[in-house]
Every structure is written in structure tokens, then in C-alpha cells.
Amino acid sequence: MSVEITKLSNGLTVATEVMPALESAALGVWVKAGARDETEGEHGIAHLLEHMAFKGTSRRTARQIAEEIEDVGGELNAATSVETTSYYARVLKEDVPLAFDILSDIMLDSKFDEEELEREQQVILQEIGAAEDTPDDIVFDHFQETAFQDQIIGRPILGTRDTVRSFTPDRLRSYLARHYSPERIVVSAAGAVDHDAVVRQIEAAFGRMPRSELDMAAQRPTALYTGGEFRETRDLMDAQMVLGFEGRPYYARDFYSSQILSLILGGGMSSRLFQEIREKRGLCYAIYSFHWSYSDSGIFGVHAATGEEELAELAPVIAEELARASEGIHDAEVARARAQMRSSLMMSQESPSSRAGQIARQLMFNGAIISNTELLDRLSAVTAGRLTELAAATFLDRAPTLAAIGPISRLPSVGEIAGGLTAAGAGPKLAAAHH
């Protein structure tokens, strides 16, 4: 399999990958703009815009959009993240032109009808309420807000009740005009597709779309990790806790090392945190680690769910395990984590939806496709010594972020947790290596 890439004269990128033997295709339009690109008064508008795209155009009503894609057995959806928005479909190969026609229609000719807007605003208000009632979801919103205090990147993607209610069709059009420009768009398709046919159709639909005169990337405020603490006592059966530190951005030298370190610490049943904290000590029923990357920052975190009585011991043991990583990582652990990443990569490439998304993200954030060979070479270059240094640089003498919801009176403060990390570890220091 190989990726074909064409850049239109207005800067829009079209990329396809044929996956032999498939009778279906996944395709979509990815925009390098998300919740992070909102102004102070636009909190939640990127997500609302994504919803409104399906609510009618000059050619199709909201019902017709749904019926046309489902008449051929296809699926249509969209998603908003911190830095991207995507609109995508999955169809049989003969229906690829129809799917692209619908996607281009909803992106270029949405009506933003006021009655539809009011209904969708109400839907999102319900989403906000549902998130607030789900502690294991909302704790991550509070974690992000605390890690990047008083910054747009730290705000929940859904927005607030007040901001969502305030949006008008004109404000949606203003955000769309500023951010949905061709040089920030990647059209990606994988599966049973024909590259030349896709290019012709996208050129016809998007070719007249003008380039933006604004450099939106330059206008985006640089993320500044702050760390801190959020605690909310609730009368719940269990407590939700997330402990984190500044991670690495997409472009960092240690991006892949951070992914491997996360797998070693909390990426499965064989991981250090799972074995020591859940299996050996029985201090929680769920625990895992994660590494989120952005264009200029990142987060390395640990999520745990446990009972009230276990919290007093749980947090110090997590800190102890993080500090232990700075004292040594074993070659066998690196090999196991590398195998997990390789397996995940290969399995995901058997899915056209996953592959279309991978292609779009690589082009948006790396400017090129990273081949499997190159990626595996990068993973092979990660050593136990480098991971030990990375653990020290990430966890020791760094400002943690702590977010917790539930019966948390026995949970130590973020300062106490940080003090335990400072005292517990004496691993090698690692100089900043971001490029």
C-alpha cells in the first residue's frame, strides 16, 4: 500500500491509499482547527459548528442528509478535538462520489437555520449536563483546565451553557470563514478508492475556495503548562483521580519515547501500575496511564478509580512507581511496549477508517507521511536508558496536575504528592529535547 498525495492550487491537500480486496472506503475532510482556535467569546463554537453542518444546506434538509447516506447503507459522522475538526463517512466503493458530495455540501453550503440552531444548542446543553453527571468523564475536563490554567487550550470542548446559548448564525459563519481555509484542510480516503477520481471531485467542489489572508497558526496562543490542583467532593461510591505532568508535543524528539513509557507504566495488564497497584495491593479497580500530544505541548497522566479508604495509600504508591521508573527501565519492558505499539499500528492499518485518519493527521502535523519502516525504526531507536532519563525529566521535581472527584477527603494534596516524587527519585536528569 502507498499513499498518493495531490495539492490543489489553493493549498488544499488530497491524499488517498488503495487497500486491495476491500469493497468499501473510509473518507473524510480534516480541518486543522479546533476548540483551541476559539476566541475568548467563542468557547464551544467549534463543536457547535460541527453539529450544525448536518442541519441543512441549500440542496438538502437535515433529514435528506441522513437519508441519502443511509439509503446506501453508509455512515456519516464528525468530531471536534482540541486542534482539529473532522467530517467523515464510510461507504461501499460505488458510493464514494455520493459521500464526498454530501461532505462538500455540508462544509461549503450549510444554511445555519435559526430554528435548527436553537434545537442543536439545546442538544449540546444536554451534552454538557450529561458530562457533568459522569465523574469519570468530567474529571478529565477539570484535569485539562488545571494543567493549562486560564488558557483556551484548557477549556472543555463543549463550551459552557452561557456561551453555547449566545451563538448566532453570523458568529458561526465568522468562525467558519476564519478557520476553514483550504491550506488548513486535508481530504483523506482509504480503501476502495481511485485517487484521480477523488482529486477531480474535490477540485470541482473545493477548488474555488479562497486561501485565508490570516496566519491562524501565528495567532494561536502558545500553550503554557501550569500544573495545579482541582478537588470536588461528591457523594459517590468511588473516587476518580487523574495525576499528570507536562508531556511532549508531536514534534518532540521524545514523542515516541513518551508513548512507550506510558505503555510500560500503565498500558495494559502487564504494566507496572496495574501489576503493583491493582494486582498486588488491590488499591483500585481501574488504573492506566496516557500521553496526549499537542502541537506545542503535551500531557503525561495516570487515571485511577478507587474507593474512599484506598485513596490515602493509592496516590503515594503511584508517585513511588513513577519515581521508580526514573531509577531504571528494563530491556524486556521496552521490547514488550514496542511490540504493543507495532501490533497496534499494524492492526489499525487494516481498518480504512483508522488509516484515513492517520494519513490526515500525519499530513497536518508532520507535513508528510511517515512510512511503517521509518516509524518502526524510530521505535527501535528507543532504549531503556533513554526512557529512564525521560521518566526523571517528566516526573521528578516537576509541577504535577491533580484532579479528583468523589469521596476524596483522604487524598493527599498535590504538594504532598510532588514532595514524594522529589524525595523518592534520584534518577538522571534530562535536558529539554524538543526537536
Give 366-411 pLDDT, tens digit per residue.
899 988 889 899 999 999 999 999 999 999 989 999 999 999 999 9
Q: Are residues 148 and 190 in the same domain?
A: yes
Q: What is the pLDDT of residue 435?
A: 31
Q: Is the pLDDT of residue 426 over 80?
A: no
Q: Give mean pLDDT, residues 135-142.
A: 97
pLDDT band at 17 (very low <50, low <70, confident <90, very high): very high
Q: Is pLDDT at 202 greater than 90 in this prediction?
A: yes
- pLDDT, residue 431, reads 38
| CATH number assigned to the domain comprising residue 160 | 3.30.830.10
Asked if the structure places residue 218 within a domain, the reply is no
**Whether the predicted pLDDT of 146 surpasses 60:** yes
Identity of the residue numbered 297: S
Count of all residues that appear for the chain in the document: 435
pLDDT one-digit tens code per residue, 210-262? 887 666 666 788 999 999 999 999 999 999 999 999 999 988 889 999 999 99
- Specify the DSSP class assigned to residue 278: I
- Phi-psi group of 429: left, alpha or beta (phi > 0 → left; psi -120 to 50 → alpha; rest → beta): beta
Higher pLDDT, 110 or 427: 110
Q: Are residues 278 and 131 in the same domain?
A: no
Q: What is the pLDDT averaged over residues 293-306?
A: 96
Give the end of a domain, one of 188, 213, 238: 213
Confidence (pLDDT) at 248:
96
Catalytic pick from 17, 38, 50, 120?
A: 50
User: Of 213, 242, 262, which residue constitutes the final position of a domain?
Assistant: 213
Of 80 and 422, the one with more pLDDT: 80
For residue 434, is it within any domain? no
Number of domains the chain contains? 2
Whether residues 202 and 268 share a domain: the answer is: no
Give residue 432's pLDDT.
36
Instruction: Write the DSSP symbol of residue 57.
Output: B
**DSSP per-residue codes, 9-45:** TTS-EEEEEE-TT-SEEEEEEEES--GGG--GGGTTH
252 in the same domain as 200: no
Average pLDDT, rounded, for the chain: 93
Distance between CA atoms of residues 421 and 416, nearest Å:
9
| Residues 209 and 235 placed together within one structural domain of the fold | no
Give me the residue label for grid cell 461501499: 92
Q: 240 and 202 share a domain?
A: no
Q: What are the tens digits of pLDDT across the range 149-178?
A: 999 999 999 999 999 999 999 999 999 999
Q: Give yes or no: residues 232 and 191 share one domain.
A: no
**Based on the domain organization, do 68 and 209 belong to the same domain?**
yes
In this structure, the answer to whether residues 133 and 55 fall within a common structural domain is yes
Q: What share of the chain is helix, strand, coil (3-state, %, to 5)?
A: 50, 20, 35
All cell numbers assigned to 151: 488558557
Q: Is residue 73 domain-resident?
A: yes
Position 125 in a domain: yes
- Kindly report the pTM of this predicted structure: 0.91
Residue 23 appears among annotated catalytic residues: no
Percent of the chain with pLDDT over 70: 95
| Spatial separation of the C-alpha atoms in residues 215 and 20, rounded to whole Å | 39
Please say whether the beta carbons of 293 and 247 come within 8 A: yes
Q: Which long-range contacts (CB under 8 A, 24 or more apart) does 55-59 make?
A: 55/110, 55/111, 55/112, 55/113, 55/116, 55/117, 55/120, 56/110, 56/111, 56/113, 56/116, 57/105, 57/106, 57/109, 57/110, 57/111, 58/109, 58/111, 59/105, 59/109
Residue 81 has pLDDT above 60, yes or no: yes
Let me know whether 28 and 139 are in one domain. Answer: yes
Would you say residue 396 lies in a domain?
yes
CB-based contact 83:292 (threshold 8 Å): no
Residue 387 in any domain: the answer is: yes
For residue 131, give its domain range. Answer: 3-213
* In-domain check, residue 221: no
Mean local confidence (pLDDT), 112-120: 96
How much is the pLDDT for 215? 65
Grid cell in block for residue 206: 473545493
166 and 124 within one domain? yes
Which of 316, 299, 204, 203 is CA-nearest to residue 244? 299
Give the DSSP letter of residue 117: H
Listed residues 169, 188, 213: the one ending a domain: 213
Identify whether 288 is part of a domain.
yes
Per-residue pLDDT tens for 19-53? 999 999 999 999 999 999 999 899 999 999 999 99
Residues 115, 179 within the same domain? yes
Residues near 148 by Cβ (< 8 Å), separated by ≥ 6?
A: 154, 223, 224, 225, 226, 297
Cα–Cα distance for residue pair 417/241, rounded to 1 Å: 13
Residue type, 118: E
Lowest mean pLDDT among 59-73, 125-139, 216-230, 385-399: 216-230
Rounded to whole angstroms, the Cα distance separating 162 from 218 reads: 28
Question: In terms of DSSP H, where are the helices of 39-151?
Answer: 45-52, 62-71, 96-108, 114-132, 135-147
